[in-house]
Every structure is written in structure tokens, then in C-alpha cells.
Amino acid sequence: MNREIVQVAHDNKDLHELIRKLDEDLAERYSNPDEVFAVDFSDPKVKNMIFMVAYIHGTPVGCGAIRPLDESTVELKRFYVDPSCRRQGIAGAVLSALEDRAIAMNRRIMRLEAGAPQPEALRFYASKGYYEIDRFGEYTDCESSLCYEKVL
């Protein structure tokens, strides 16, 4: 398989097309749109985020990002692999690349938020060493949020 994981700018068209597909998927899973936490691409802080896109034979098939939370912690955001390309190691490759970037930024904790309507994501994160923690940040008051972290 000709697979490539590439760091892209926040305004990359392939990234935005994958995020559009992610948003469609989440809209089908969650009945309450307030339970879906997106990234505000108009916020100037979006430039502090690192975005990755996975390509197979030049076609964008997955994405993910990390957002710095503090001096030791980043948050995984906008993580998605096209359903037609799942179970091929793409999610693991994107996650590994983002974990490597976090370590390069001297961040040692990666956190994330997901929910019960995403059972395959929860299984994936657990398989990669993420463990459940108390809700944090913007998720504190969202009853459906499940939060995880991993020490890198």
C-alpha cells in the first residue's frame, strides 16, 4: 500500500474535505449537536495546532490534529478515517505521527474526548493505551463526553 502521512496547514483543502465527512458522521451518531465539539477554524489559535492527513495513492483518507492545552498536554482533535479505508492501520499511523509531534513539542500527555455513540473509536483508543479520565476543559459539563489520556 502506498501510504503517506503528511503535516498540512490548517486551511488545506484535503483536510477540510475529511473534516466535512467527519462532521456528517458525527451528525448521524449524535442527536444533540451540542455534544459535538469541533475546531473553530476562524480562531487565530488554530495556527498553533498541528494537522495531519493520511493519503493512500495520493487520495486523502484520514486526518487528525493536536491542540496544545498547556506546557505538558495536547488534545487530539478532528480524528477521522474514511470508512472505506478502516482496518488498514491508517488510524494507528496518524495517531503515532501526532504522538511523535507532541513529544517533539515536549508535551508528555495526550488527551481526547469521544462519546458512547463512537464505540469503535473508544475501542481503538483503549487498544493504543489511552485510559479514561475525568471530563476536562470544555467537556466538563457535557454528560455524554468520555475523556481519555495517555502518557507519551
Per-residue pLDDT of the chain (152 residues; tens, 9 = 90+): 688 999 999 999 999 999 999 888 877 776 666 666 666 677 788 888 999 999 999 999 999 999 999 999 999 999 999 999 989 999 999 999 999 999 999 999 999 998 877 888 899 999 999 999 999 988 898 888 899 999 99
pTM: 0.90
Number of neighbouring beta carbons within 10 Å of residue 34: 8
- Contact status, residue 107 vs residue 152, Cβ threshold 8 Å: yes
Q: How far apart are CA 49 and CA 112, in angstroms?
A: 14
Q: How far apart are CA 9 and CA 35, in angstroms?
A: 26
